[in-house]
Amino acid sequence: MRFVVLSGQSGAGLTSARMALEDLGYFSVDNIPPPLWADLLKTVEAQNIHKVVVVVDIRARNLLSEVERVLSELKPFIIFLEAKSDILLKRYNLSRRLHPLGMGNLLREIEEERLTLAPLRDRADLVIDTSERTPRQLKEALEAALGEEESFLLRIFSFGFKWGPPQDADLVLDVRSLPNPHYDPVLKARPGTDPEVATYVFAEKKNEPLYRTLLATIGLSAEGARQTGRAAYTVAIGCTGGQHRSVAVAERLAQELSSRFRVELEHRDLEKAMQA
């Protein structure tokens, strides 16, 4: 079990940090009382979950007296986020949110929070000042500190336009210009995963530049998404029914791109097309 406690000042980036840790595969829980942490770890471990992050901040101020004892027992990796007071002030003014302490004086609330959380900061294994960091830079700092890197996922799925266009794709590509095995009586009933169907789809050399363009487009788009901090990128490959051409192309793309990305492949309409 890898157990991380994430704490820090309101406005210092706790939400961005929690989301970054979730992208790294951590099961996150926000402000569960410290006395319940041990039971939480037992529960999630029984479900084969081995990475957990608990967020604890000033909202749990009435429960912070228990934190010291629980930290000594469980010995988590503690991350504390902070920022300069003037930066926190600007962030709150931009967001127009109220500070959790609700005292009516934002600068005073920031300083009171800093004082209250000081014991947690003193115990932290990692303190990050987010004053000049973007969410992406914060994510990179967390990855480096934990020795983990987000595993970017490229999702590729085939579909048939006759069943409706996809609503959840970042990039939709049309391969209906490729040879259609539907008109071959031997191949008509077979899926695009069949080697003979794939051979039929890619047989004409004049169509190879089209496939290579698709491969390059997806590679560049997915890499761009990864560089901007995206956790996943979804590409949809469509033909008429979603049985032959889109399936064969998606299979080949997934195989060739798997050397660069973690790829998840799905054939959305193949079963419906085979039964139609």
pLDDT above 70: percentage of residues in the chain? 99
Band the pLDDT of 91: cuts 50, 70, 90: confident
Q: Is 73 a residue whose pLDDT tops 80?
A: yes
Beta bridge partners of 5: 54, 78
Work out the angle between the directed axes of helices 14-23 and 135-146 (0-180°, nearest 10): 50
What torsion, rounded to 10 degrees, do the Cα atoms 72, 75, 77, 82 define?
A: -10
**pLDDT tens-digit map of 228-263:** 878 899 999 999 999 999 999 999 999 999 989 989
The mean of the pLDDT values for the chain is 92
pLDDT at 178: 97
**pLDDT tens-digit map of 165-207:** 898 899 999 999 999 999 999 999 999 999 999 999 999 999 9
Q: Is 211 a residue whose pLDDT tops 80?
A: yes
pLDDT above 90: percentage of residues in the chain? 72
pTM (two decimals): 0.62
- Report the distance separating Cα 191 and Cα 239, nearest Å: 13
Band the pLDDT of 148: cuts 50, 70, 90: confident
> What mean pLDDT is predicted for residues 89-95?
83
CATH architecture of structural domain 2-146: 3-Layer(aba) Sandwich (3.40)
Q: Are strands 153-160 and 77-82 parallel, antiparallel or unpaired?
A: unpaired
If residue 173 lies in a helix (H) or strand (E), which one and from where to where?
Answer: strand 171-174
Residues 6+ apart with CB under 8 A from 30: 18, 55
pLDDT at 180: 97
C-alpha atoms less than 13 angstroms from C-alpha of 26 in its C-beta half-sphere:
25
DSSP of 130-159: -TT--HHHHHHHHHHHHT-----EEEEEEE
> What mean pLDDT is predicted for residues 55-76?
88
By CB atoms closer than 10 A (0-12, 13-18, 19+), residue 265 is middle
Q: Is 150 a residue whose pLDDT tops 70?
A: no
Band the pLDDT of 226: cuts 50, 70, 90: confident
- Report the distance separating Cα 211 and Cα 74, nearest Å: 54
Domain layout of the chain by residue ranges? 2-146, 153-275
Highest mean pLDDT among 45-59, 108-122, 135-149, 240-254: 240-254
Band the pLDDT of 105: cuts 50, 70, 90: confident
Band the pLDDT of 1: cuts 50, 70, 90: confident
Start-to-end CA span in the chain (Å): 48
Q: Is 104 a residue whose pLDDT tops 80?
A: no
**pLDDT tens-digit map of 9-56:** 999 999 999 999 998 889 999 988 999 999 999 999 999 999 999 999
Q: Chain-centre distance of CA 127, in angstroms?
A: 24
